[in-house]
């Protein structure tokens, strides 16, 4: 009796382990490459200048995050050199207000 229960539990345990193992190995397929026209990329070997990979590398793109990082860098540099203060008021120029894609909704002449 005990040996039958033990054998049944062992078989059940092995079955559960195999099921869990099989389930953990199955994953949704991951797309390896996207031919979506929204994306562009270029990978260049810094030492040789050789282009290793390019996809729509010459198509115009908005610089997005790099613009924000560079703006912060230049702001902190101006603050460190005393060319700017945290209390300074900045007036939005007509050119700055007309640049796409602007998410700030600032009008020319407005101060921040």
Residue pLDDT, tens place only, 23-64: 555 555 555 555 677 788 899 999 999 999 999 988 887 767
pLDDT at 28 (0 to 100)? 53
pLDDT at 45 (0 to 100)? 93
At 17, is the pLDDT very low, low, confident or very high (cuts 50, 70, 90)? low
pLDDT at 67 (0 to 100)? 81
How far is Cα of residue 96 from the mean position of the Cα atoms in its chain?
26
- The predicted model scores a pTM of 0.40
Q: What is the DSSP letter of 77?
A: H
Q: Report the alpha-carbon distance of residue 58 to residue 19 in Å, rounded.
A: 49
């Amino acid at each position: 009796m005990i040996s039958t229960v033990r054998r049944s539990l062992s078989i059940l345990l092995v079955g559960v382990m195999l099921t869990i193992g099989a389930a953990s190995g199955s994953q949704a397929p991951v797309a390896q490459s996207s031919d979506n026209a929204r994306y562009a990329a270029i990978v260049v070997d810094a030492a040789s200048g050789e282009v290793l990979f390019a996809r729509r590398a010459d198509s115009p793109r908005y610089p997005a995050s790099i613009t924000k990082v560079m703006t912060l860098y230049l702001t902190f540099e101006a603050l460190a050199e005393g060319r700017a203060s945290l209390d300074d008021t900045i007036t939005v120029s007509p050119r700055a207000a007309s640049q796409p894609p602007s998410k700030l909704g600032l009008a020319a002449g407005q101060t921040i």
